[in-house]
A = this chain, B = another copy of it.
Amino acid sequence: MTIKDARTPASTQNSVDGQSAEAGKSIGWHKAYIEGSRPDLRVPVRQVHLTNGQSVTLYDTSGPYTDPLVDTDVRRGLPPLRENWIVGRGDTEEYAGRPVRPEDDGIKHTSPRGGLRNLDAVFPGRPRQPRRGRDGKAVTQLAYARRGEITPEMEFVALRENVSPEVVREEIAAGRAVLPANVNHPEIEPMIIGKRFLVKVNANIGNSAVTSSIEEEVEKMTWATRWGADTVMDLSTGRNIHTTREWVLRNSPVPIGTVPLYQALEKVDGKAEELTWEIYKDTVIEQAEQGVDYMTVHAGVRLAYVPLTANRKTGIVSRGGSIMAAWCLAHHKESFLYENFEELCEILAAYDVTYSLGDGLRPGSIADANDEAQFAELRTLGELNRIAKRFDVQTMIEGPGHVPMHKIKENIDLQQEICEEAPFYTLGPLTTDVAPAYDHITSGIGAAMIAWWGTAMLCYVTPKEHLGLPNRDDVKTGVITYKIAAHAADLAKGHPGAQEWDDALSDARFEFRWEDQFNLALDPDTAREFHDETLPAEPAKTAHFCSMCGPKFCSMKISQDIRREHGGSQAEIEQGMAQKSKEFAAAGNRVYLPIAD
């Protein structure tokens, strides 16, 4: 495959460019593109250039923001990468669309809240009309895959995952993978969610009446994708909910997910019992026209299951689940989402919105894991999954939650059986409840395990979980922790090519190529910062030992003695050693704490 490098002399000064301190040197990382079968099909990658002349190509979710050749402007939005592909299929039409109403932003005459907080909040980008499938046609990647068509989106993810387009088509057609790509979100760089592909990570954002603004939400989104978020869920509540979503969608290179029930609830002033199918349906259409790529729908919370949660330690902990449970109880009726599910399928099929069937009855504590309420809902999600596929709607299934390690595997095994291998999308699970402020770790453990066993996407958890509102650092920590879980799972699944990354970093470590270790790291900035904290930057970066074995007996030297004993080319290593030893002497002895040994 041909990879085109986006570097220019200018780019070496670019802040998002990983060029190392010494400008001019060609080491560091850069945005590059894998070119596909057509000029407008260019798959972004992160190209890491090593000091030994080799380079490593890594998956890149950061979008045009890290391409020094693209000049981005949040007020204009990202270029509509997929527009020609969508129009070219000729199966969609533009139409006037639903008029945007003040209440879409939570503003009412009766509301004491007043109007938009920032006057220019309405998105100023190019005017657009919504698009949908002609005469009720399903315009979904699932429909195309089933017809045997390989779309540009499928080719894009095939190049991204380094598999054949046919494998992508097969997995989508079988319902084992989803490619969330609303026809009204042409800005995205297509990605795929399925157990045969790299494990994906979702990050949540969402404004809060108390602290954050529209600009902050857009910035949170680009920040999360820069560190590796594959999708972002906008869980905004309260004011400016419609407008915030518009800004996020127009600027997002990754698929955006939502929970329409949250906005519908706002429209009835938070009174669950006043929710109706009509209000919900109108909200789904509103969001589908904006371009939301996947929607969490809690249609599995049925009236009959609610009593099953009565004796739980932590009851119902899913917000959507509790809203639907409240509605069912207030009316003593079956869930309107369950009752109208087929009509909902027709709507989603017309925009290619992917279902994320919510687990409204997921456990909220170790004590409630794998109980009757949880699995009763899962069986219903299996039933809904079959219906959605009848309508050619792509579908994934959400999972828990709080689950001790010995009960995790049952979750993925049951879900895969009941839901015919539809992609599983889990929140953690948290493996213990005793560590608030560290739930990125309690859940990262469970996430790595369940992903190894087949979960396709992991919803991140930040250190602030259960305690408060995640800030910029919490978002980064959550994403990095979950990228670790996802990659550890890719390794354990033996995903082709996954180990090359670890091998490249291990080689750099063994050969004391510090700059390469930093540039290959999931978080180069922090790795470099930690290293320089203890050691004078320059001599240290040539120091010829590591924290594992200490300066006097570095593993490399021993291994060289061994190789000398048993033959094997030594010339350049010897030479390197002599030089390095001099440099190390200058740097002084014993600067690291050896680890347990």
- The contact string, 1 if C-beta is below 8 Å from chain B, for chain A 382-420, is 000000000000000010000011100000000000000
Q: Which of A12-20, A80-88, A245-253, A554-562 contacts B (4 or more CB under 8 A)?
A: A554-562
Q: How far, in angstroms, from A568 to B309 measured CA to CA in the complex?
A: 13
Q: List 7 A-B contacts (CB under 8 A).
A: A366-B506, A367-B506, A405-B489, A431-B492, A435-B521, A437-B529, A445-B484
**Is A552 in contact with chain B by the CB < 8 A criterion?**
yes
> Which single member of B442, B459, B470 contacts A593 (CB below 8 Å)?
B470
**Is A170 in contact with chain B by the CB < 8 A criterion?**
no
> Which single member of B208, B307, B547 contacts A468 (CB below 8 Å)?
B547
Cβ of A485: which chain B residues have Cβ within 8 Å of it?
A: 445
Q: How far, in angstroms, from A489 to B249 measured CA to CA in the complex?
A: 41
A507 to chain B, nearest CB (A): 7
> Which single member of B208, B211, B323, B561 contacts A326 (CB below 8 Å)?
B561
Q: How far, in angstroms, from A320 to B309 measured CA to CA in the complex?
A: 55
Instruction: Tell me which residues from 527 to 577 in chain A have a Cβ below 8 Å from any Cβ of chain B.
Output: 527, 529-531, 533-535, 546-550, 552-559, 561-563, 565-566, 568
Cβ of A506: which chain B residues have Cβ within 8 Å of it?
A: 313-314, 364-367, 433
**Is A501 in contact with chain B by the CB < 8 A criterion?**
yes
Minimal Cβ-Cβ distance residue in B for A298: B597
A368 to chain B, nearest CB (A): 8
In the complex, the answer to whether B318 meets A548 with C-beta atoms within 8 Å is yes
Minimal Cβ-Cβ distance residue in B for A589: B209
- List 6 A-B pairs, minimum CB-CB distance, nearest first: A315-B559, A468-B534, A365-B506, A405-B492, A431-B488, A459-B596
Q: Which of A39-47, A119-127, A230-238 contacts B (4 or more CB under 8 A)?
A: A230-238
In the complex, the answer to whether A452 meets B565 with C-beta atoms within 8 Å is no
- The contact string, 1 if C-beta is below 8 Å from chain B, for chain A 178-191, is 00000000000000
Cβ of A444: which chain B residues have Cβ within 8 Å of it?
A: 441, 444-445
**Is A349 in contact with chain B by the CB < 8 A criterion?**
no
> Which single member of B313, B465, B484, B568 contacts A595 (CB below 8 Å)?
B465
In the complex, the answer to whether B434 meets A520 with C-beta atoms within 8 Å is yes
In the complex, the answer to whether A558 meets B325 with C-beta atoms within 8 Å is yes
A interface residue numbers (CB < 8 A to B): 202, 204, 206, 208-211, 233, 235, 237-238, 259, 262, 265, 270, 272, 296, 306-307, 309-310, 312-323, 325-326, 329, 358, 364-367, 398, 404-406, 427, 431-438, 441-442, 444-445, 448-449, 452, 459, 461, 463-471, 480-481, 483-485, 487-489, 491-494, 499, 501-503, 505-507, 509-510, 517-518, 520-523, 526-527, 529-531, 533-535, 546-550, 552-559, 561-563, 565-566, 568, 588-597
> Which single member of B319, B491, B517, B534 contacts A431 (CB below 8 Å)?
B491
Cβ of A556: which chain B residues have Cβ within 8 Å of it?
A: 315
Q: How far, in angstroms, from A312 to B272 measured CA to CA in the complex?
A: 62
Q: How far, in angstroms, from A326 to B596 measured CA to CA in the complex?
A: 19
A167 to chain B, nearest CB (A): 22
**A505 in contact with B433 given A366-B491, A549-B318, A591-B469 (CB within 8 Å):** yes
Cβ of A312: which chain B residues have Cβ within 8 Å of it?
A: 559
A266 to chain B, nearest CB (A): 10
> Which single member of B265, B530, B558 contacts A467 (CB below 8 Å)?
B530
A556 to chain B, nearest CB (A): 6
In the complex, the answer to whether A562 meets B306 with C-beta atoms within 8 Å is yes
Q: How far, in angstroms, from A467 to B566 measured CA to CA in the complex?
A: 32
How many copies of the polypeptide does the oligomer hold? 2
In the complex, the answer to whether A204 meets B365 with C-beta atoms within 8 Å is no
A94 to chain B, nearest CB (A): 32
Cβ of A534: which chain B residues have Cβ within 8 Å of it?
A: 210-211, 464, 467-469
Cβ of A436: which chain B residues have Cβ within 8 Å of it?
A: 505, 517-518, 521, 527, 530
Cβ of A470: which chain B residues have Cβ within 8 Å of it?
A: 593
**A488 in contact with B405 given A467-B547, A590-B238 (CB within 8 Å):** yes
In the complex, the answer to whether B597 meets A435 with C-beta atoms within 8 Å is no
Q: How far, in angstroms, from A554 to B483 measured CA to CA in the complex?
A: 31
In the complex, the answer to whether A449 meets B405 with C-beta atoms within 8 Å is yes
A438 to chain B, nearest CB (A): 6
Q: How far, in angstroms, from A592 to B470 measured CA to CA in the complex?
A: 9
Minimal Cβ-Cβ distance residue in B for A468: B534
Q: How far, in angstroms, from A238 to B459 measured CA to CA in the complex?
A: 47
Q: How far, in angstroms, from A265 to B49 measured CA to CA in the complex?
A: 39
> Which single member of B310, B320, B321, B492 contacts A563 (CB below 8 Å)?
B310
In the complex, the answer to whether B441 meets A441 with C-beta atoms within 8 Å is yes
**A438 in contact with B594 given A466-B548, A549-B319 (CB within 8 Å):** no
Cβ of A320: which chain B residues have Cβ within 8 Å of it?
A: 597
